[in-house]
């Protein structure tokens, strides 16, 4: 894989049994390391390959090198931004940022297999698609597979992403494939998703499920590689809670924390939800040179400034705001951030909460600290995922690979301090960013009551089959999909 090419194991043939191993800079490709009772060392991209063989295993830290000679890790990736105490001061240069991103996308067009782009209609995936369309002609990939770019989107019927993606695809002239799923389809796939993604993190499972379902359909069309937009929100402070960053220093430190944690969240999702079906995902926003360019910008320029008309990720939007040769329509270029799990349809998360509330009792949740002492679930949804996870991966080592702590709209625990009201509204959905998201949760409602959520969902959204607890066969509806989409 291009984005994980620097994860490797090097055997020293001069000294039997001695070796070195390294992981890519950001952790785009998952990697685990384990130790057997006999002293053997195991390395794998999937945890499930280690849990039966190793006495202890853990995440292989991104940007690190392991030496069997020393039996320890050393960090090889040392970019200037890694030290959070150093605040960058380079003036914002929109053309330099644009060129760096275009270079990152072009690099990922090196392929000898059928490919496409994941297009949600949001800023990041739309820019990936727009730059790919602009530079595809003349590449070896175009010579072999044609200049018509394939784009893919998934969502519930009538979801925000489907509408926006369709508009972007029409504007760019891509051959667009739109996949529909229902809440029940997603619920039926939850166990498979947790098995493949190897996590019980709520945000990751919410977003991985539609991506998992979509990847199956994409692979069935003969596509083997997709280019995706992960990483932008961490680099540019695109999550809606960044609106409340108190100063540029805190803003920058939070972006550093988010990038360093990507291997446990979005990178894990993008890689494992796709590779479960043999599909490769490439992420140009996490190109090392592009990250260095973007993270050198004075964070004052990245901050949300309503008084100046600057919304989240303004520096990225401005870099591609070309009046003469527009990359995207203005309203797409300046569309508000939607987290993937929200954009596929707001009733998706509501449906998950309702399903969890129907399967986890109040008593079970009240005893959670005794059943799950580490990363104790505080909601019925989190408890439900944890039950499934520990059925597949009961080892303590496996449990410790998943991050924990409070979060609002995908924030780190530290950023919750930015707004006092967030501490009472801890939910990773973007709609938890009260006062920021255009479709934020009702501030007067109590989000801690799973029973209220289940009741409200059943009344307003849930199909009768879900409300009654019945199950429907797992299906995915596809529209605008040609009979023979791509052939190798």
Segment (H or E) for 261: none
Which residues of the chain form CATH 3.60.20.10? 7-77
Region 391-398: what's the mean pLDDT? 97
Region 97-119: what's the mean pLDDT? 97
Strand 115-118: give its sheet, edge to edge.
280-282, 225-227, 115-118, 150-155, 175-180, 477-479
Closest C-alpha among 210, 221, 116 to residue 172: 116
| Residue-level pLDDT at 119 | 97
Q: To 10 degrees, the CA torsion angle through 122, 303, 247, 97?
A: 100
Segment (H or E) for 215: helix 202-220
Least confident of 118-127, 340-349, 468-477: 468-477
Is the Cβ–Cβ distance between 196 and 95 less than 8 Å?
Answer: no
* Residues constituting the chain: 488
| Residue-level pLDDT at 413 | 85
Q: Which residues are annotated as a binding site?
A: 118, 154, 228-229
Mind listing the pLDDT tens digit for each residue in 52-67? 889 999 999 999 999 9
- The yes-or-no verdict on residue 282 having pLDDT over 70 is yes
> What b/e string do you get for 230-252 counting C-beta neighbours within 10 Å, with b at 16 or more?
bbbbbbbbbbbbbbbbeebebbb
Is the Cβ–Cβ distance between 210 and 154 less than 8 Å?
Answer: yes
| Residue-level pLDDT at 411 | 87
By CB neighbour count within 10 A (0-12 exposed, 13-18 middle, 19+ buried), where does 48 fall? middle
Residue range 81-359 forms a domain whose CATH class is: alpha beta
Which residues of the chain form CATH 3.40.50.620? 81-359
Closest C-alpha among 279, 153, 215, 213 to residue 475: 213
Q: Which residues are annotated as a binding site for ATP?
A: 118, 154, 228-229
Region 127-150: what's the mean pLDDT? 96
Main-chain phi, psi angles of 401, to 5 degrees: -80, -15
In this structure, how many other beta carbons lie within 10 angstroms of the beta carbon of residue 362? 11
- The yes-or-no verdict on residue 309 having pLDDT over 70 is yes
| Residue-level pLDDT at 409 | 77
User: Out of 1.50.10.100, 3.60.20.10, 3.30.390.10, 3.40.50.300, which CATH number does the structure's domain 7-77 have?
Assistant: 3.60.20.10
């Amino acid at each position: 894989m291009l984005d994980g090419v620097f994860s490797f194991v090097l055997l020293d043939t001069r000294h039997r049994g001695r070796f070195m191993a390294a992981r890519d800079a950001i952790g785009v490709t998952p990697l685990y390391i384990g130790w057997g009772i006999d002293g053997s060392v195991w390395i794998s991209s999937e945890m499930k390959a280690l849990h039966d063989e190793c006495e202890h295993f853990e995440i292989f830290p991104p940007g690190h090198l392991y030496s069997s000679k020393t039996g320890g890790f050393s960090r090889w990736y040392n970019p200037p931004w890694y030290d959070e105490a150093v605040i960058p001061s380079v003036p914002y240069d929109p053309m330099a940022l644009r060129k760096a991103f275009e270079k990152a996308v072009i690099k990922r067009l090196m392929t000898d297999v059928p490919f496409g782009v994941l297009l949600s209609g949001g800023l990041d995936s739309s820019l990936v698609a727009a730059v790919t369309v602009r530079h595809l002609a003349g590449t070896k990939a175009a010579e072999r597979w044609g200049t018509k770019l394939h784009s893919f989107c998934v969502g519930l019927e009538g979801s925000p992403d489907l509408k926006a993606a369709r508009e972007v695809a029409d504007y760019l002239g891509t051959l667009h494939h739109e996949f529909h799923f229902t809440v029940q389809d997603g619920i039926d796939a939850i166990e498979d998703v947790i098995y493949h993604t190897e996590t019980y993190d709520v945000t990751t499972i919410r977003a991985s499920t539609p991506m998992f379902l979509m990847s199956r359909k994409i692979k069935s069309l003969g596509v083997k590689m997709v280019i995706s937009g992960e990483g932008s929100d961490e680099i540019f402070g695109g999550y809606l809670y960044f609106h409340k960053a108190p100063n540029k220093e805190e803003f920058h430190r939070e972006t550093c924390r988010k990038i360093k944690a990507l291997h446990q969240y979005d990178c894990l999702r993008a890689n494992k939800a796709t590779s479960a079906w043999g599909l490769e995902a490439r992420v140009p926003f996490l190109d090392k040179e592009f990250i260095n360019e973007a993270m050198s910008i004075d964070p004052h320029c990245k901050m949300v400034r309503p008084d100046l008309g600057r919304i989240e990720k303004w520096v990225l939007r401005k870099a591609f705001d070309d009046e003469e040769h527009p990359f995207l329509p203005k309203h797409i270029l300046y569309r508000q951030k939607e987290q993937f799990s929200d954009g596929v349809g707001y009733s998706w998360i509501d449906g998950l909460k309702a399903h969890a509330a129907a399967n986890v009792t109040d008593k079970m949740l009240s005893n959670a600290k005794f059943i799950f002492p580490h990363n104790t679930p505080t909601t019925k949804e989190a408890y439900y995922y944890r039950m499934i996870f520990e059925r597949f991966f009961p080892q303590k080592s496996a449990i410790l690979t998943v991050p924990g702590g409070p979060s609002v709209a995908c924030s780190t625990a530290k950023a919750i301090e930015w707004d006092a009201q967030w501490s009472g509204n801890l939910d990773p959905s973007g709609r938890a960013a009260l006062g920021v998201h255009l479709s934020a949760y009702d501030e007067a409602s109590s989000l801690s009551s799973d029973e209220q959520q289940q009741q409200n969902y059943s009344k307003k959204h849930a199909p009768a089959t879900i409300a009654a607890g019945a199950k429907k066969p797992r299906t995915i509806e596809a529209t605008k999909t040609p009979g023979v989409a791509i052939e190798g």
